[in-house]
Structure 1
């Protein structure tokens, strides 16, 4: 049975806090707590949910019901296997590390396949291949003197961290991204290391550490601030870091700073002129629109979010998962402005683009479906709910 946020709030609150005490500690209205617990509301803004999670002393993944395992008959796959691969103890046991099975060329193919699966939203496939992939890339880096081997290891740790975030596993995800940065700094590509700092900022955002997220992103951006002629990759990396800072400011409810940073990122995107994909990171006009919508959603500016969403370029250069995420964000804004039929259409399009495996691991889409079910019990919505595991 898919428990609501309200049920989980009530369970975590227990007898330690009254509804009013929880609301006071979280800095939200007692009416919001009451409506969530009574089922009058199925969700709230991410900022409010983060405040409630902090007051309850739980991870937001637990509050949202996002922490997932991926059961399998293969003991070498799944979350537990990934954790083991991330935290080896062979050095403590005095064991000789395994030799690199395929060298740098094979390692590159493994990393590219993993990222392809990630951008296609195939998280269950990733949990089966990441444990062996981490071991393979670590062995390759140990056996090779090439900086490229360290950079490939960084990219493998990075895709592992990103996958774990989507499965609600924030602690091992942070272990993975810090390992990615350490490997990148042993390489010879400062733009890769800077991009990884942006990914650390994203993980801090997911954890509700908004000020730290903004500061990490903008500190990295300042180190790359363009002066004179720079490469498009440099511009895109800088713009992406600024946009990450904008997203964090939006989650912190600093609308003015967030929109100012979005404007700066937009200037960079217009200077580049096209959507780019560098270092597994997408930046350009499409990404600016997508994150602008996110900022407005975070600040509960739903009408403004829909206005910005209309600016999405026809020839959108975003990957499947990002396009599905944008459609989900649009669905939230439509639902909150009472446009429920259009919200359902946007969710169905998100499922078509991202696939049901992607959609069922997205708490925002699941809670939007729950919200729509309060007003619509017809077959298309109920069928979508069943496909992504929402109790009807």
Structure 2
């Protein structure tokens, strides 16, 4: 077993403080799972089980699965450290403050749209080069805004903080990600758009979900949804915002292993998607029939209902419907999990290769799940296509 495996990291974090059985008892998982992970008999487990193990070991799940990433660069104004610095300014504490460039709102809106386009294309390395300066410039624009333009300036700043938080999640930087999304929420509260505010609250819930705080994630998402519940005729953006928040609540319930509640919430979201009638993108968020299918697969996988996940996946249009590039790749990866766990190893590999093609090299580089599934597939197949794929992902083959 290599020292980059989940099992080795569990053993290292456990140290001499806990036996395998004590860890299993504290996490609420079987000792057989802990033993097989540490011995290399299993390369991964369900997200819910990994979250429980991380919590019992008092570590972030990013540390457990080896997802935390940096972006080495010769430019000190780009990368993770630069983003952290932009998120934690101390200008107010300095005797002399720097004068930052103020950008016009129209130019700021283009910068925000470009950042979100890069995010949905899975171009995380590009984002680490544009987010630090983008945050600094937008903050300067907010400070320079007059009362008439301040709400719009704050809404743009909120969107830039929001995409920063989402990017940092994918790079395994959960603490600065949460700082970014809370800063986004503060800025949105100074704006005038209730739908933007609701969606950023939903993103707070998503980050809680990533951290394994499932009950809080579900509560935040459904509380935000309740404020938007459609009564009578409402706009399509409101319907999509409401449906997206309900779907997030379903995902959190699935991770909690509250499967009946999760499926009930998915049914509600499906009804809303039916009213919308198509896949849409509003407020940097995608919602519609394709997103409902994707999250139905996710809920079934998180509860290890793999045949049900595959049945749901068959409803997805061949081109991924209206999902953005990164989401299509993620859905294909989830489907590959279900295929691998039901013994359809060759089909799982072809689906993963399709995910790589759709998501691109930049996207797959920062995804832990494909590496874990490839490790499982190597137990059944050592042929060149899989070994070549494993090599590209950095998985020992």
Q: TM-score, normalised by structure 1?
A: 0.98
**What is the match of residue 148 of structure 1?**
152
Write the deviation string for residues 337-374 of structure 1: whole angstroms up to 9, x where unpaired. 00010101111110100002111211111111111111
- Are residue 134 (structure 1) and residue 101 (structure 2) matched? no
What do residues 158-179 of structure 1 show as CA deviations (whole Å, max 9, x unaligned)?
Answer: 0100000000000000000000
Q: 1:155 to 1:2 in 2, by over 3 A?
A: farther
* 1:218 and 2:222 matched: yes
Q: After TM superposition, what 4+ stretches of structure 1 lie above 3 angstroms from structure 2?
A: 94-97
Q: Deviations over 1:209-268 (max 9, x none)?
A: 000000000000011111111100000000000000000000000000000000000000
Query: Residue 50 of structure 1 aligns with which residue?
Result: 51
Match of 2:166 among 146, 162, 168: 162
Structure 2 counterpart of 1:322:
327
Q: How many positions carry a matched residue from both structures?
A: 392
Unmatched segments (≥5 aa) in structure 1: none
Distance apart, 1:388 and its partner CA:
2.1
Please report the TM-score for the alignment, with normalisation by the length of structure 2.
0.97
Q: What is the CA–CA distance in structure 2 between the aligned matches of 1:82 and 1:370, rounded to whole Å?
A: 32
Q: Which residue of 2 aligns with 1:353?
A: 358
Aligned-residue RMSD, C-alpha: 1.1
Task: Sort the Cα spacing of 1:189 and 1:95 in 2 relative to 1 into closer, same or farther, 3 A.
Answer: farther
Contact 2:100 2:136 in 1 (8 A): no
Cα contact 2:328–2:355 (8 A) shared by 1 = yes
In structure 2, the CA distance between the partners of 1:166 and 1:193, relative to structure 1 (3 Å rule), is same
1:275-334: CA deviations, max 9, x gaps? Answer: 010011000000000000000001000000000001113460010000000000000000
Q: CA deviation at 1:103?
A: 1.2
2:380 corresponds to which residue?
375
| SS of match in other structure, 2:17 | coil
Structure 1 residues 67, 137: closer, same or farther in 2, change over 3 A? same
Q: Return the match for 1:275 from 265, 273, 279.
A: 279
Alpha carbons 1:328, 1:347 under 8 Å: kept: yes
Are residues 1:251 and 2:252 paired?
A: no
Deviation at 1:155, TM superposition (A): 0.6
Q: Which runs of 5+ in 2 are unaligned?
A: none
Aligned residues of 2:103 and 2:138 also touching (Cα < 8 A): no
